[in-house]
Structure 1
Amino acid sequence: MGLALTILFGFAMLLLIFSFVRMKQLAKKEKKEIDLVSIQLMEEINRLGNQVRNLELDAEIFAKEVGIQTTSSSKRVVIREVLDMYKRGYSLEGISAQKDLSINEIQQLLSPYVALDGRRKVANES
């Protein structure tokens, strides 16, 4: 009986050691997979960053070729925000209230980019 217990205890120890070794191997494999995904993600981010820079440069070149006067960065930000809000369905009144600009100013900012219709529904007003 003592021999059987000793054999079972030894077998249990071997299984325990084997499970630790196996866990280490799996952890290394998972770490390699995570590193690979991380590298791929960083490459994609760099590629997208390069594309954004190229688009910004192309837009600037196009604006200069056409003779459009580029606006200051703060005005460009306001135009971008107003245009974004308009495209998301905000009414002119709602945009005007959030940006502290008159409706006429909002219409002037949007006029080069969208055809304003007077039938715009009121949405997302604050």
Structure 2
Amino acid sequence: MEWTFAGLFVISAILLIVSILKSTRAAKAQHNQIDQIHISLMEEINALQSSIRNIELDQEVFMKEAGIRLSSEERLFMREVLDLYERKYSIDSIAEMKNVAPGTIQKMLAPYQKVKVEGRKVAGEN
């Protein structure tokens, strides 16, 4: 009977050691997988930052070639106004938010507004 208990104790100790080793290996594998995902995300972030930097440089080149001279404040204001317009805010509400006359906003947005084709078909037109 004592030998049976001793044998069971030894077997349980061995199983405990094997379980600990397997869980350690699984944790290392999971840690490596997390590291790989982190590395790939960092590479994507770096690629996006590089693309953004290139777009900003292209924008500066286009603005200089076109002869447009806007200060950073004016550029920021224009970007905010255009963003509001793209989100379907009315010109009056944009002017109210920015404390500017609606005519000024209208002039700023004129190149970005789509021309509506109005009219109707005439009878007999094919």
Per the normalisation by structure 1, the TM-score is: 0.78
Distance in 2, Cα, partners of 1:32 & 1:45: 20
Equivalent pair of 1:83/1:110 in contact (CA under 8 Å): yes
Identity %: 41
Distance in 2, Cα, partners of 1:6 & 1:57: 76
How does 1:104-115 map onto structure 2 within 5 Å?
104-115=103-114
Deviations 1:75-104 (Å, cap 9, x if unpaired)?
111111111111112222322232222222
Match of 2:85 in 1: 86
Task: Indicate the SS of the match to 1:71.
Answer: coil
RMSD value over aligned CA atoms? 1.9
Q: Report the structure number with the largest CA radius of gyration.
A: 2
How does 1:27-42 map onto structure 2 within 5 Å?
27-42=27-42
Shift of 1:25: 0.9
Distance in 2, Cα, partners of 1:19 & 1:32: 20
Match of 2:62 in 1: 62
Unaligned runs of 5+ in 2: 117-126
What count of residue pairs does the alignment treat as equivalent? 116
Shift of 1:116: 7.0
Distance in 2, Cα, partners of 1:97 & 1:5: 86
Task: Indicate the SS of the match to 1:111.
Answer: helix
Kindly indicate whether residue 35 of structure 2 is the aligned counterpart of residue 25 of structure 1: no
Distance in 1, Cα, partners of 2:44 & 2:89: 33
Task: Indicate the SS of the match to 2:112.
Answer: coil
Letter in 2 for 1:38: H
Distance in 2, Cα, partners of 1:5 & 1:98: 82
Structure 1 stretches (4+) deviating beyond 4 angstroms?
none
Deviations 1:16-71 (Å, cap 9, x if unpaired)?
2111111111111111111111111111111111111111111221222233x131
Distance 1:27 1:104, change over 3 A: same
Distance in 2, Cα, partners of 1:9 & 1:50: 61
